């Protein structure tokens, strides 16, 4: 999350976690959304970097990358819960 600062990172984490939970049919509170979004912010750039996709800087690119990472995180957690 380059160029957004700590407050921006928190806001992006909450939004990314909430969007990912909504898309994956999950529910959780504000803290859960923040944790999912922040972990997604670490996972997203790794995945997109491995695929060679440019990630950009600023609020919107950071939100998109964090949301992608959060969706991947929720998908993996879902697989582990079923096993």
- pLDDT band at residue 80 under the 50/70/90 scheme: very high
What distance, in Å, lies between the first and last C-alpha atoms of the chain?
33
- pLDDT at site 19: 94
- pLDDT band at residue 2 under the 50/70/90 scheme: low
Q: Tell me the pLDDT tens digit for each residue of 57-68.
A: 888 999 999 999
Q: Tell me the pLDDT tens digit for each residue of 5-52.
A: 888 888 998 999 999 999 998 888 888 988 999 999 889 989 998 999
CA distance 32 to 17: 8
The tokens for 63 are 């939100």
Where do the structural domains in the chain lie, given as residue ranges? Answer: 5-82
Q: Where are the beta strands (DSSP E) in 1-83?
A: none
Q: pTM for the complete prediction?
A: 0.87
């Amino acid at each position: 999350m380059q160029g957004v600062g700590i407050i921006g990172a928190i806001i992006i984490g909450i939004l990314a976690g909430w969007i990912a939970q909504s898309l994956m049919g999950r529910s959780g509170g504000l803290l859960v959304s923040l944790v999912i979004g922040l972990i997604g912010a670490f996972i997203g750039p790794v995945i997109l970097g491995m695929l060679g996709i440019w990630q950009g800087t600023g609020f919107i690119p950071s939100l998109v990358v964090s949301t992608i990472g959060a969706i991947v995180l929720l998908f993996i957690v879902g697989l582990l819960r079923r096993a």
